[in-house]
Chain A
Amino acid sequence: MPEQQPLLTYLLRRGDDNLILGQRLGEWCGHGPQLEEDIALANRALDVIGQARNYLQYAGEVEGKQRTEDDLAFLRPEREFVNCKLVEQHNGDYAHTMVRSFLYDAWHLPLQKALTKSSDEQIAAIAGKAVKEISYHLRASSDWVIRFGDGTEESHERVQHALNSLWTYTGELFVQDEVDHVLVKAGVVPEMAPIKAEFDRTVNEVLTEATLQRPADAYMATGGRQGVHGEHMGVLLAEMQYLQRAYPGAEW
Chain B
Amino acid sequence: MTTGTTALTEESIYALLENVKDPEVPVISVRELGVLRDVKVEDGKVLVTITPTYTGCPAMDVMREDILAELHKAGITNVEVKQVLAQAWTTDWITEEGKAKLLAYGIAPPEKTADIRALKGGTPVVECPQCGSKDTVMVSLFGSTACKALWKCNACLEPFDQFKCL
Binding site for B on A (CB under 8 A): 36-37, 39-41, 43-44, 46-51, 53-54, 121-122, 124-126, 128-130, 132-133, 135-136, 139-140
Contacts and interface: CB of A to CB of B under 8 A. Distances in A.
Interface of B: 52, 54-58, 84-90, 119-121, 139-146, 150, 164, 166
Contacts of A124: 86
A14 B136 CA distance: 38
Contacts of B143: 39, 43
Contact of B55 (A133, A136, A139): A133
10 contacts: A36-B140, A39-B142, A40-B142, A41-B142, A51-B55, A51-B56, A54-B55, A125-B85, A129-B88, A132-B88
Chief secondary structure at chain B's binding surface: loop
B146 A46 contact: yes
Contacts of B57: 46, 50
Contacts of A49: 56
A136 B56 contact: no
A39 B140 contact: yes
Nearest to B89: A129
Contacts of B85: 54, 122, 125-126, 128-129
9 cross-chain pairs, A with B, having the tightest CB-CB distances, nearest first: A50-B56, A50-B55, A40-B142, A125-B86, A125-B85, A36-B140, A43-B142, A46-B56, A128-B88
Contact of A39 (B55, B121, B144): B144
A129 B114 CA distance: 13
Contacts of B84: 125
A97 to B, nearest CB: 14
B139 A47 contact: no
B56 A36 contact: no
Nearest to A47: B56
A140 B56 CA distance: 18
B56 A48 contact: yes
Contacts of A132: 88, 90, 119, 166
A44 B88 contact: no
B88 A139 contact: no
Nearest to B119: A135
A46 B146 CA distance: 8
Contacts of A122: 85
Contact of A140 (B89, B142, B150): B142
A36 to B, nearest CB: 4
Given A50-B57, A136-B164, A129 B52 contact: yes
Given A129-B85, A135-B120, A136-B164, A47 B140 contact: no
Given A37-B140, A125-B88, A43 B119 contact: no
Given A43-B143, A126-B85, 14 more contacts: A40-B141, A46-B54, A46-B57, A46-B58, A47-B146, A49-B56, A51-B55, A51-B56, A125-B84, A125-B85, A126-B55, A128-B85, A129-B52, A132-B119
A159 to B, nearest CB: 19
Nearest to B159: A36
Contacts of A53: 55-56
A47 B86 contact: no
A126 B120 CA distance: 20
B86 A128 contact: yes
Most chain A Cβ neighbours within 10 Å, of B56, B121, B164: B56
Contacts of A43: 142-143, 145-146
B140 A40 contact: yes
A121 B88 CA distance: 13
Nearest to B90: A132
Contacts of B90: 132
A193 B55 CA distance: 28
Contacts of A129: 52, 54-55, 85, 88-89
